[in-house]
Amino acid sequence: MKRTFHKSIEGLDDKGQIEKLDKREIQTMSKDLEQNLLLIKDRFKDCYDIVIREFYIDNGHTPNHKLALIYIDNMIDKSLINESIMESLMSISKHDELEYNGGKQLFSRIKERLITASHVDETDDFEKVIYSILCGNSALLMDKLGKCLIIYSIGWEKRAIEEPATEMALRGSHDGFTEAFGTNVSLIRRRIKDTALKLKVYKIGRYTNTTVGIMFVEGIVNPKIIEELEGRIKKIDIDGILESGYIEQLIADNWLSPFPQFKRTERPDTACASLLEGNIIIITDNTPYVLIAPTTFFSLFQSMDDYTEGWQISTFLRVLRFIAILIAIDMPALYVSVTAFHPDMLPTDLAFSIAATREGVPFSSPIEALMMLLTLEVLREAGIRLPAPFGQTIGIVGSIVLGEAAVRAGVASPIMVIIVSLNAISSFVIPNFSLAIGFRLLAFIFLLLSSIAGLYGVLIGLIALIVHLVRLKSVGVNYLSPFINFKSIEARDTLYRAPLHFLTERPKYTMPVNKKRLKNPYNRENKGE
């Protein structure tokens, strides 16, 4: 939070004088507790969940000292407040001889011996006090001292660690990120137990002050990528960050592209694997989705299960995903192109069969395909928005019933229902949800091009798509890496997955400082060791 004024509230005797100052101008706390409380009450005006507990301490030797404990109800751990703070403060023995020096010795005694909370910080910064209270901490103020103790007492309810619903694990860990920033960081540190794992934290949002952190492994990650990412994050000036998607959109290289330029995940093992490859992860408070930067087109087709299974199975699955891309983008467009513009390309029997199924259909192939694709997207969206039991019913039963009804009514042909169904199923094969949505959008664009120019339109669309992907970058890294300046050795973990002991180097696109990650036991120079 930026502060351009360095004023104190010393000498302000009443609320009228305080109101003359801008609320954000006050920085240094007053030695007068009443003046501090007056300003705090003014800042938290109409905040009925704020609790201000005023009390006195008397050990029988020094004069009474007035204290005030301030916190927001339902955001703190009440047992910690009662046992570690209030009970400790009330238990000051009358036999404790404390020299009266304006309360400084008593203040030090409270901080060093009486408060038993895990973390206590001392400050005279008024804005830091306000921010700490809003974060769920407690502020302990004492009269005659222009200082305050910030006591870590956060205790709000949070969701337990569960398996991610969007990234099911066939093998490996089944825990997932939550909405709590600290929990997410701990899930990473639990897997990478090394001091090289670094965490940098930023506060973004003029009103939300959302905690955003970047994590990386020092000695692996390229410092230039850290510098570039930090620069983009620091430039963000917005009212609030409510989800990691805000960050993703505000720091993307090309906001016009339908393709995700950051990989997102709910799985800690996926995030850790990316860190060890030289990537940086961005953790945002209040969301279970972690961003991975930089990313490439081919990394979005990779799943953590690719590395927990044998290389033969993983390679087969990757090839299957790339085939699914072509079906998801081109299947409706190719059908329209062949039937409406190039029927002579079909075998005679197949051409007659398609013509027979289309008999009685009142719409042309492009209109028929557009209607079916739009219907499918509406069903898909309805399935997401409805409660889970009803969503599954809409998604499965609705598709079957509508498809059968459309064919019986003569609105759509059976072959078109098959084409659209294959298109929908293929989009589900893609591991990254954001990438799948991008391909679903492209299916409409390719359908439009094929309706105008047939196969020539599809070809123009493919060329435009390749040109766009070649020009696209993610945090300055080529999106089509490693096929820019291609070397055959770099394809071992892209189109196919080589045996694990051959993946000796980290991906080139991250430009890691330390390139080696595995000593291949099958190398000739290692034989006999």
Q: How confident is the model at residue 259 (pLDDT cuts 50, 70, 90)?
A: very high
**Do 328 and 351 sit in the same domain of this protein?**
yes
| Beta bridge pairs of residue 221 | none
Q: Which amino acid is at 42?
A: D
* Tokens 């009103």 belong to residue: 207
Residue 174 lies in a domain: no
- Joined together, the tokens standing for residue 496 give 């196919």
**Do 43 and 92 sit in the same domain of this protein?**
yes
pLDDT in tens, 202-243: 999 999 989 999 999 999 999 999 999 999 999 999 999 999
- Joined together, the tokens standing for residue 82 give 């009662």
Rounded CA gap, 199 and 262, in Å? Answer: 19
Comparing 126-135, 159-168, 268-277, the range with the smallest average pLDDT is: 159-168
The torsion angle over the Cα atoms of residues 162, 168, 173 and 178, rounded to 10 degrees, is -30
Cis upstream peptide for 294 (omega within 30°) = yes
Residue 284 lies in a domain: yes
Rounded CA gap, 119 and 151, in Å? Answer: 6
Rounded CA gap, 519 and 504, in Å? Answer: 6
Do 34 and 12 contact (CB within 8 A), yes or no?
A: no
Rounded CA gap, 478 and 259, in Å? Answer: 13
pLDDT above 50 (res 95) = no
**Do 319 and 405 sit in the same domain of this protein?**
yes
Q: Specify burial of residue 447 (Cβ count, 10 A radius: 0-12, 13-18, 19+).
A: buried
pLDDT in tens, 191-213: 999 999 999 999 999 999 899 99
Comparing 92-106, 301-315, 325-339, 415-429, the range with the smallest average pLDDT is: 92-106
Looking at 262, 295, 328, which one is the last position of a domain?
A: 295
Distances (CA, A) of 197 to 141, 181, 221, 518: 37, 16, 10, 19
pLDDT in tens, 12-22: 444 444 343 44
pLDDT above 80 (res 62) = no
Rounded CA gap, 478 and 295, in Å? Answer: 9
CB atoms within 10 A of CB 308: 14
**Whole-number pLDDT of residue 342:** 84
**Whole-number pLDDT of residue 521:** 66
**Do 217 and 333 sit in the same domain of this protein?**
no
**Do 406 and 436 sit in the same domain of this protein?**
yes
**Do 377 and 473 sit in the same domain of this protein?**
yes
Nearest Cα neighbor of 272 from 197, 179, 174, 345 is 197
Q: How confident is the model at residue 420 (pLDDT cuts 50, 70, 90)?
A: confident
**Do 451 and 343 sit in the same domain of this protein?**
yes
Give me the mean pLDDT over the 386-396 stretch.
65
Q: How far apart are the first and last CA of the chain?
A: 58
Looking at 151, 173, 202, which one is the last position of a domain?
A: 151
**Do 137 and 280 sit in the same domain of this protein?**
no
Looking at 267, 295, 323, which one is the last position of a domain?
A: 295
Q: Which amino acid is at 425?
A: I
Q: How confident is the model at residue 410 (pLDDT cuts 50, 70, 90)?
A: confident
CB atoms within 10 A of CB 368: 25
**Whole-number pLDDT of residue 212:** 94
Q: Which amino acid is at 330?
A: D
pLDDT above 80 (res 308) = yes
**Whole-number pLDDT of residue 1:** 38
**Do 445 and 341 sit in the same domain of this protein?**
yes
**Do 91 and 205 sit in the same domain of this protein?**
no
**What is the average pLDDT score of the chain?**
83
Residue 491 lies in a domain: no
**Whole-number pLDDT of residue 278:** 92
Sort residue 218 into left (φ over 0), alpha (ψ -120 to 50) or beta.
beta
| Beta bridge pairs of residue 217 | 197
**Do 12 and 60 sit in the same domain of this protein?**
yes
**Whole-number pLDDT of residue 252:** 92
Residue 31 lies in a domain: yes
> What phi and psi values does residue 427 have, to the nearest 5 degrees?
-70, -25
Residues 6+ apart with CB under 8 A from 37: 52, 54, 68, 141
pTM: 0.83
Sheet holding 280-284, edge to edge: 197-204, 210-217, 280-284, 290-293, 263-265
- Joined together, the tokens standing for residue 289 give 């989705």
Residues 6+ apart with CB under 8 A from 502: 492, 520
* Tokens 């409510």 belong to residue: 242
Strands (E) across 407-502 are located at 473-474, 477-478
Residue 223: give the domain boundaries. Answer: 181-295
pLDDT above 80 (res 99) = no
**Whole-number pLDDT of residue 275:** 94
> Which range among 22-31, 44-53, 479-488 has the greatest average pLDDT?
44-53
SS3 content of the chain, % helix, strand, coil (to 5): 45, 15, 40
Number of domains in the chain: 3
Q: How confident is the model at residue 161 (pLDDT cuts 50, 70, 90)?
A: confident
Residue 375 lies in a domain: yes
Rounded CA gap, 521 and 500, in Å? Answer: 11
The SS3 assignment for 164 reads coil
**Whole-number pLDDT of residue 61:** 55
**Whole-number pLDDT of residue 4:** 35
Chain centroid to CA 182: 14
Give me the mean pLDDT over the 509-517 stretch.
87
**Do 132 and 219 sit in the same domain of this protein?**
no
Residue 87 lies in a domain: yes
Residue 158 lies in a domain: no
Q: How confident is the model at residue 394 (pLDDT cuts 50, 70, 90)?
A: low
The SS3 assignment for 23 reads coil
- Joined together, the tokens standing for residue 123 give 């400050």
The SS3 assignment for 303 reads coil
**Whole-number pLDDT of residue 22:** 45
**Whole-number pLDDT of residue 15:** 40
Percent of the chain scoring above 70 in pLDDT: 87
Do 204 and 212 contact (CB within 8 A), yes or no?
A: yes
460 compared with 4, residue with greater pLDDT: 460
Residue 485 lies in a domain: no
Nearest Cα neighbor of 283 from 196, 207, 186, 193 is 186
Q: How confident is the model at residue 473 (pLDDT cuts 50, 70, 90)?
A: very high
Helices (H) and strands (E) in the chain, counts: 19, 14
pLDDT in tens, 333-360: 999 998 888 888 888 888 888 888 887 7
